[in-house]
Structure 1
C-alpha cells in the first residue's frame, strides 16, 4: 500500500485525514514534529504529504522549504487553520502543490488528493519514458543517476529544480514544451498566465549552462513554449560520464 505522511499534531484532524486516505486505498503515517518530518520525507519515499502549517516546533513552510531545497519533489498539500489569500500564495510559492483552509469539506480533500496523485503519475510516466541513464545534447551531458551535469566536459552545478527542468527538456528533445506543461509536470500547478516562474528558471538555467552550451540549445518559441535542440549531441568531447554500467534509477 502506498503511504502518505501526515505532518499533523492534532489527533482529531490526523484521525479524520487517516480515515479519508484509507477510503482512497492509501496508508498514512502520522508525525507531529516538523523537524522529524523533514527526515522522514527525505528518507522514506512517501507518495504524498499533508502538512499543517502550524506545528509545535517549526512553521510548516520551513519544513516545505527545507525539503524542496534538498530536491525532495514529493507532492504536498498544505492545510492551514488561519487561511487567507496571502497565506495560500506564500505556501504555493514555498513549494506546496495544493492548499486547503480549515475547516474544509472532506469530499474536496479527497478530490484534490486524487487529482494531485494523477498529476504526479503523469509526471512520473513522462520522466520514465526513457530508460537512458545518461542524456546528451548540444554538448550537454546529464547523468540521471549521479545527478550531475557537464557542458563539453566542464561540470556545472545546478539547483534541484534546474536539474529537473533540464532533464525534462532533454527527455523531450526537438519538441515544443509549453509553459502549461512545464508548470503541471514539474511544479504540479495549473496554468497561471500571470506567472513568470518558467521564464525565471529558463533564464537561470541558460546562465548556468553558459556559452559552451550555445545560445540555441534551449530555444524560445514565441507564444508556444521552449524547445531543447539536441542536434550537436554527437560531437566528440560532449560527455564526461562514467564508462561503467549504470543501473536505471529507482
Structure 2
C-alpha cells in the first residue's frame, strides 16, 4: 500500500487529510514538525508528502527545496491557510507539485493527490520502458514495444487491460501490489473496495496462461493484493499467500 507522510501541526486538519487519503486507499503517517519530516523523507520509502506551509519550526519553502536538493523525487503537496499567487509561485518554484488553499473540499483534495500519484506511476513506467522493453519470468515473455506475450514459446492473446495488468505485475516482481495501486495504474480509477474488476482480470490472466505451475506465480495475498513470483524473486513472503 502506498504511504503518504502528512506534516501538519493542527490535529483537526491532519485528521481530515488522513481520512480523505485513507478512503482513497492510501496509508497515512502524521508528523507535526519539519525537522522530523525531513529525516523521515530522506530515510523512508514514502510515496507522497503533504505539508502545511506554516510549520512551528522550519520554513516550508526551505524544506521543499532541501528535499529536492537531496534527490528525493516523491510528489509534494503544500497546504496554505492564506493563499495568494505569490506564495503559490514560490512554493511551486521550490519544487512542490501542487499548492492548495485551506479550507479544502476534501473530495477534490484526494482526487488531486491520486492524480499526482498516477502521473508519478506513469513516469516510472515510462522510465522503466526506456531501460527494459522485454520482461521475462517463469516462462512468460512480455514485449512492451510489440505489445505481445508468450508463455513457453506459445503466443497468448491478451486484452489491453489484461496486458497492462500483467506488465505492472512483472515490473514489480516479488512485491505485494495493492488493489488501490492496480486500479490507479491499470484502470486509472480511484480505489473502490466493492469492485471485482481486478479479480476478474487476474482470473482471465491465469486462464489464458494455461499452465498451472506458471499461473500460480500470480499469487493472491490475503487482505492486501497480488504478488508476481518471478524466477529470481525472494520467496520469503510465500507463507502469506495462497
Residue 131 of structure 1: how far off its partner (Å):
4.2
In 1, the alpha carbon distance for the partners of 2:127 and 2:46 equals 18
Residue 130 of structure 1: how far off its partner (Å):
4.1
Counterpart in the other structure of 1:111: 111
Q: Secondary structure at the match of 1:6?
A: strand
In 1, the alpha carbon distance for the partners of 2:127 and 2:66 equals 23
* 1:63-74 equivalent positions in 2, closer than 5 A: 63-74=63-74
Residue 61 of structure 1: how far off its partner (Å):
1.4
Give the number of the structure whose residues are more often helix, by fraction.
2
In 1, the alpha carbon distance for the partners of 2:130 and 2:119 equals 19
Does the alignment pair 1:55 with 2:55?
A: yes
- Flag the structure with more relative contact order, 1 or 2, with Cα contacts below 8 A and sequence separation at least 6: 1
Q: Secondary structure at the match of 1:129?
A: helix
Give 5+ residue unaligned stretches, structure 1.
133-250
Residue 114 of structure 1: how far off its partner (Å):
1.2
Q: Secondary structure at the match of 2:9?
A: coil
In 1, the alpha carbon distance for the partners of 2:94 and 2:80 equals 14
Aligned length: 132
In 1, the alpha carbon distance for the partners of 2:130 and 2:31 equals 36
In 2, the alpha carbon distance for the partners of 1:61 and 1:128 equals 31
In 2, the alpha carbon distance for the partners of 1:12 and 1:61 equals 23
Give me the TM-score of the superposition, normalised by structure 2. Answer: 0.53
Deviations 1:90-141 (A, max 9, x none): 0000001011011111111011111101110111111111446xxxxxxxxx
Counterpart in the other structure of 2:2: 2
In 1, the alpha carbon distance for the partners of 2:125 and 2:75 equals 15
Counterpart in the other structure of 1:127: 127
* 1:182-201 equivalent positions in 2, closer than 5 A: none
Give 5+ residue unaligned stretches, structure 2.
133-242
In 2, the alpha carbon distance for the partners of 1:110 and 1:59 equals 25
